[in-house]
Amino acid sequence: MAHHILKGVKNILILALILAVPGFLYYLLTTKGKNRYKPLPIYGPKIVAKTMHKGFHGKLIPDTIYHLVGDFKLTDQNGDPVSQKTFENKIVIFSFFFSNCPTVCTQVNRNLDSLAQGYLKNKMIQFVSVSVDPERDTPEALKKYAAQYHISSDKWRFLTGDTTNIYRLARQGLLVNALKAGSGKNDFIYSDKVIMVDAGHRIRGYYSGTSITDILRLNDEIHVQITEELRKVETPEM
């Protein structure tokens, strides 16, 4: 009886530690207790290059050219220009929305608000929400919309611009849907996905912005990606 009680307490303590320690997923990704870091996957089309690099035990491995999120020129809620250079050396959490959206956008942005609160002091993380309705979502409108979240624009930028740049960023850069689909004011087709892009402009994760489970997974995987970026600084490529 005492043995079963002790075992139950032990299991509860283990679960509590898993839930309490940010980035616990990193430790689950180590291999057999050894210091072999397993990074997050890289999404998008890939091309095998003719060049090679040395892998584990000096084995030569073909280099891979990964899909990169291209440059863009948009404007934030303060009227300031924003491009890839704005987020240099940062992990960027992208999403799409429009301020007049009645349901999905509100749920996604509330979830992102809760997530962003945990990274207010972390300079490596940037949240970016791009409007698919730039006609109504002017910088002034976005500034008013963003005020409800009480998060600095340095941490969470709401972007607008011309539809060519916005839809290109979505479809060609982040590989998600975004388009005007009808004559109605709210006739937009866009993804509810939240997309994590690393400091090298590569897509490292897709998450449903309406799913608490996915947002929790994103939180874990942000810590995994932070670890990867810090390892790059500590051991720069030759």
- In this predicted structure, what is the pLDDT of residue 183? 72
| Terminal-residue alpha carbon distance, the chain | 59
Phi, psi of 85 (to 5 degrees): -60, -30
Tell me whether residue 78 is exposed, middle or buried, using C-beta atoms within 10 angstroms of its C-beta: 0 to 12, 13 to 18, 19 or more.
middle
- In this predicted structure, what is the pLDDT of residue 5? 46
In 3D space, the residue among 185, 165, 167 whose CA is nearest the CA of residue 176 turns out to be 167
- In this predicted structure, what is the pLDDT of residue 56? 65
CA distance 210 to 101: 14
- In this predicted structure, what is the pLDDT of residue 198? 98
Asked whether the beta carbons of 115 and 215 are under 8 A apart, the reply is: yes
CA distance 177 to 193: 10
- In this predicted structure, what is the pLDDT of residue 178? 87
Q: How many helices and strands (H and E) does the chain possess?
A: 6, 11
3-state secondary structure of 48: strand
- In this predicted structure, what is the pLDDT of residue 36? 56
- Please identify every stretch of the chain with a pLDDT value under 50, giving residue numbers as ranges: 2-21, 24-27, 30-33, 238
Q: Average pLDDT of the chain?
A: 85
**How many residues appear in the chain?**
238
